[in-house]
Structure 1
Amino acid sequence: MPELPEVETVRRGLAALVIGKTIEKITVSLPRIIRTPDDVRQFCMMLEGYAIDAVERRGKYLLLSIGPHLLVSHLRMEGRYGFYHREDPVEKHTHVIFHFTDGTELRYKDVRQFGTMDILPQGRHQELPGLATLGPEPLDRSFTPEVFIRALRARRSGKIKALLLDQSLVAGLGNIYVDEVLFQSGIHPEASGPELSDRQIVALHRAIVAVLTQSVELGGSSVKSYVNGYGQEGGMQHQLNVYGREDQPCPNCGTLIVKTRLGGRGTHFCPTCQPLHD
């Protein structure tokens, strides 16, 4: 958390708020957020004086085009951006501030302090290991059922939930939406991914696209601390069928939702609608 819908919502907000703004200076109070370059002063000098030209997304990564550079930002668990005026009080856990020449500021806040920022040359984002191994974008037209079937068949083994969380299969899915798409497609999280039938994989593909599309339209899920660039919560948390609903009735059949742990992750499913064996 945040996952693809939340990062896409943040991207859209930032695109509306900061594109065209020129960075006057940058304040960094937690140096370990900055990974590349490993010198915070160099990080600031590389970006200061340039305008933000574009804000894009790849998987769960935000990509900000700033002059000849690409700022790659990963929010990890609880990182978030907020847009402020210079006179606004700086909140606790604010670690990076981009001060713009017009008196506004883009502030990065991260309670857990797991987020990262890297500067790369434009057009060379694939040099960052996390980006280099990402699978297809699930909301891109190129992500077809046929592509998904081939990718899943190429895996020799693995439980389907673990495979969906592996960003090299499909980019952007996390714990919340994997539970939701498995429920919508009627597939048990412990089912063997490569052994799913074509029919099941097509149903799973359809669920991935449908759930992520709905969540983007609703502004993501504010399950914990997530808010968009305007400080607003999303609305998808009110539409979740299984995630966070353990011991509550399944919306389809009334069976109580079960929560287990799979690969160290909390996993929610309906034992009736998602049988392990047909």
Structure 2
Amino acid sequence: MPELPEIYNLAMQLNREITGKKIKELEVRQEKCLNISVSDLRILLTDQIVKACEAKGKWIFVRFESGAYLLLNLGMGGNLLYHSNIKTLPEKYQFRCDFTDNFYLTISFWWFGYIHGVKSGELIFHKMTNTLGLSPFDKAEFTFERFNALLADKRGNIKSFLLDQRNVAGIGNVYIQDILFKAGLHPNRKIPDITPEERVLLHYVIMDYLKSAAELGGLAYEKDIYNKNGLVKEFLVGYREGKECPKCGIPIEKIKAGSTASFICPHCQR
């Protein structure tokens, strides 16, 4: 499943490639991905010019000059590809966008995903994005003060808190493993027991680790809009059960944390 580093890269690439382009035609082969009918989506976006593309959490926001939005979420994974030639279009896809300059965009979901159209002025009513929490890539938004304030009244464990998209948007069960390791926190550590110094470190690690992953193009099994894979192939403790901890050499363990699996060093993350 793509997380913030992958989604951020896709959004930045789209912003570079399709800003200023006008939509000529839309094709939808899987209507259950939509929040409105195919005809309404075409009415909303056909002949509209892209103004900007940005990421928040696991969503890509494509904003148009009309004020309308196309909201994209790759769900459990998928390929969002940009084509300069109609001959490179994949055989199977759920969504296709043709631009007036004969460039194309296709989305092929691995399992499920979302393609939502939102009218001008109605983004605040979109239930799947209007509750998204702080974005680690927004320095003005993801300040330590705001992050710490979110932690202040929470009583659960830190992993569940970070995976809740209403708190911090974009972290999933892949990157959370090494984030907690680098911060020296056990995934089941209760939030009230986390010291002020540990909170400062955690805030820094979240921004730094996700930024480093984005700079590498994201996960090796995820593709960018040019069909190129990312370079993140290995983790410090994530998915390395039985391997030596890079800090102390103790074997990494796989445990259950809430409803998800976690990989930890039992010595460094007590």
TM-score, normalisation: structure 1: 0.91
Aligned twin of 2:120: 122
Aligned twin of 2:101: 102
Deviation per CA, 1:59-100, whole angstroms, max 9, x where unpaired?
Answer: 211000124211111111113310124532542541100011
Aligned twin of 1:216: 214
Q: Distance in 2 between matches of 1:33 and 1:218?
A: 30
Could you tell me how far 1:263 is from its partner in structure 2?
A: 2.6
Aligned twin of 2:21: 21
Amino acid at match of 1:230: Y
Aligned twin of 1:170: 168
| Deviation larger for 80-89 or 166-175 | 80-89
Pair 1:46 & 2:44 matched: yes
Amino acid at match of 2:225: G
Q: Which residue, out of 252, 256, 267, partners 1:261?
A: 256
Amino acid at match of 1:101: T
Q: Aligned pair in 2 of structure 1 residues 92, 193: CA closer, same or farther (>3 Å)?
A: farther
CA contact (8 A) 1:218 1:236 kept: yes
CA contact (8 A) 2:86 2:104 kept: no
Aligned twin of 1:242: 237
Amino acid at match of 2:99: F
Q: Which residue, out of 249, 252, 256, partners 2:247?
A: 252
**Which consecutive segments of 4 or more residues in structure 1 shift more than 3 A?**
none
Counterpart of 1:108 in 2: which secondary structure?
strand
Report 1:1-278 matches (<5 A): 1-35=1-35, 37=36, 39-68=37-66, 69-112=68-111, 114-142=112-140, 143-155=142-154, 157-222=155-220, 224=221, 226-238=222-234, 240-275=235-270
* Structure 1: unaligned runs, 5 residues or longer: none
| Deviation larger for 120-129 or 5-14 | 120-129
What RMSD in Å do the two structures reach over aligned CA positions?
Answer: 1.6
Could you tell me how far 1:207 is from its partner in structure 2?
A: 0.9
CA contact (8 A) 1:24 1:48 kept: yes
Q: Aligned pair in 2 of structure 1 residues 123, 252: CA closer, same or farther (>3 Å)?
A: farther
Counterpart of 1:169 in 2: which secondary structure?
coil
CA contact (8 A) 2:219 2:230 kept: yes
CA contact (8 A) 2:177 2:237 kept: yes
CA contact (8 A) 1:82 1:231 kept: yes
Could you tell me how far 1:125 is from its partner in structure 2?
A: 2.0
Q: Distance in 1 between matches of 2:247 and 2:90?
A: 43
Amino acid at match of 1:185: A
Amino acid at match of 2:3: E
Q: Aligned pair in 2 of structure 1 residues 199, 147: CA closer, same or farther (>3 Å)?
A: same
Amino acid at match of 1:258: E
Could you tell me how far 1:162 is from its partner in structure 2?
A: 0.7
Counterpart of 1:71 in 2: which secondary structure?
strand
TM-score, normalisation: structure 2: 0.94
Could you tell me how far 1:20 is from its partner in structure 2?
A: 1.7
Q: Distance in 2 between matches of 1:87 and 1:139?
A: 34
Identity %: 31
